[in-house]
Amino acid sequence: MVADWSNLPEELLNLISVRLFSVLELQRFRSICTSWRRSSVPGTPFQSRRRLFHFDSISPSSPETFLSHNAFFRVSLSSSPSKGWIIKSDMDIVNSGRFYLLHPLLLCPLHCYFESIDLLEFTVSEIQEACVVLDEAKARVTTPGFERSVLVQLNVGGDHHHGVLGVGWDGDINYWDGNIFWKLEQKSDPHFADIIVHKGVTCVLDSQGIVWCISSDLEFSRYGTTSVDETVTNGCWGDMRFVECGRDLYVVERLPKVNPQMRKANIGTRKYSRTVGFKVYKMDEVLVKWVEVKTLGDKAFLMASDTCFSVSAQDFYGCLENSIYFFEKLCTKVFKLDNGNGNGRIISSKSSKSCFQMFSPSFF
């Protein structure tokens, strides 16, 4: 006997709807049939929390460290779904549980003339998530030990616990279980640059471009035997990021305009000097080594402060394929790779607006 899902009791549909996490899940729920769409009309507690993005500033009053969940969405007009924009949101879990708009590449809140926007008028899909450990919500101040973070599940004494692993400003790996912070010890004590959960495995990247895996009992093991070319990284940590593209793992290295000796000696100079380009490497899982990539094809990489990810350029207004978007010195920039040779040029949003359209939705 085949069940008629359209005739489920209203109470059961409401129980399903309140367990949905994202706007994308809500859209899928509402598209099942007429009765499911009507069950989640404005007026239910879930709708009042989920169906609007609020544009006022985030201002939770909790002074304590807390975990913030950020999400990136593709938003397009129903009349023109082939092209869209990227927006980024955070949920104010401390107070209202509502969504707030953030700068796509940073953690700071955006301000808008509109109080809110009804997402049900648009086609919305979630494309990336990130977690951030904050010391101060209103100013979006990250905890020093968790510049880049991931959620993990650990096996401690046979019991499973959820927590956060992060890379600190000093290059150390730290763990937080919601109450206690502690630093993970590594025998060789390398400096780490980034962290990611790739295909269910927690991976960290050190200063030589070596990938280490962290097990559920917080033990380190080296992934492969090779590293990114030292003549490129120069032993520098903090300038490299993980990026997932499809099922493949990449490393993107920022190349700053700075003397090589200064890169090793001064963290601040290394981190905030002007970017002159990027190098991209792809993990060859057969050979278990990094291979330099000269072109990204129709993809664009977005280097946000809390996570990095790839998108298909054709899906977004103005997005340049074979490029890397990043933020530097109060300005959004894009590094356009030249096909085949790995070189490129940097375009600033101060001099060109067309290739940054995807960050400026028409409804703002």
- Give 3-state DSSP helix, strand, coil % of the chain, rounded to 5: 15, 45, 40
Both structure tokens of 275:
């970017």
Per-residue pLDDT band at 242 (split at 50, 70, 90): very high
- Of the candidates 65, 124, 41, the residue with the CA atom closest to the CA atom of residue 89: 124
pLDDT at 47 over 80: no
**CA dist., res. 212 & res. 224, Å (int):** 9
The pLDDT value given to residue 172: 92
Average pLDDT score over residue span 224-244: 64
Q: What is the DSSP letter of 319?
A: P
The pLDDT value given to residue 207: 80
Which of 30-44, 199-213, 338-352 shows the highest mean pLDDT? 199-213
pLDDT at 354 over 60: yes
Per-residue pLDDT band at 288 (split at 50, 70, 90): confident
Percentage of the chain beyond pLDDT 70 is 71
The pLDDT value given to residue 150: 93
**CA dist., res. 181 & res. 187, Å (int):** 20
pLDDT at 181 over 70: yes
Q: Which residues have CB under 8 Å from 124's CB, separation 6+?
A: 23, 24, 27, 73, 74, 75
Helix (H/G/I), strand (E/B), else coil: 145: coil
Average pLDDT score over residue span 317-342: 90
pLDDT at 286 over 90: no
Both structure tokens of 54:
């609020």
Whether the predicted model's global pTM rises above the 0.95 cut? no
The pLDDT value given to residue 290: 87
**CA dist., res. 307 & res. 106, Å (int):** 10
pLDDT at 31 over 50: yes
| The residue type at 355 | C
Per-residue pLDDT band at 123 (split at 50, 70, 90): confident
Q: Are 100 and 55 in contact (CB under 8 A)?
A: yes
Who has greater pLDDT, 168 or 264? 168
pLDDT at 16 over 70: yes
Who has greater pLDDT, 262 or 245? 245
Classify residue 221 as exposed, middle or buried by CB count within 10 Å of its CB (0-12, 13-18, 19+).
exposed
- For the ranges 46-55, 88-97, 213-222, 288-297, the lowest mean pLDDT is seen at 46-55
pLDDT at 178 over 50: yes
The pLDDT value given to residue 58: 41
Classify residue 299 as exposed, middle or buried by CB count within 10 Å of its CB (0-12, 13-18, 19+).
buried
Per-residue pLDDT band at 195 (split at 50, 70, 90): very high
Both structure tokens of 274:
């002007």
Average pLDDT score over residue span 223-231: 61
Per-residue pLDDT band at 138 (split at 50, 70, 90): low
pLDDT at 59 over 70: no
The pLDDT value given to residue 347: 92
What is the enclosing helix (H) or strand (E) of 101?
A: strand 99-102
Q: What is the pLDDT of residues 253-277, one digit of tens each?
A: 999 886 555 544 444 444 567 899 9
What is the enclosing helix (H) or strand (E) of 349?
A: none
Both structure tokens of 93:
């879990």
- Of the candidates 180, 239, 183, the residue with the CA atom closest to the CA atom of residue 207: 239
Q: Which residues have CB under 8 Å from 266's CB, separation 6+?
A: none
Please name the residue ranges forming H helices in 22-81.
Answer: 23-30, 34-39, 45-50
The pLDDT value given to residue 251: 94
pLDDT at 214 over 50: yes
**CA dist., res. 301 & res. 321, Å (int):** 9
Q: What is the pLDDT of residues 64-105, one digit of tens each?
A: 777 888 889 898 887 788 999 999 988 654 445 566 788 999
The pLDDT value given to residue 279: 92
The pLDDT value given to residue 164: 92
Who has greater pLDDT, 42 or 354? 354
Give me the residue spans of the domains in the chain. Answer: 7-50
Percentage of the chain beyond pLDDT 90 is 32
Q: Are 202 and 164 in contact (CB under 8 A)?
A: no
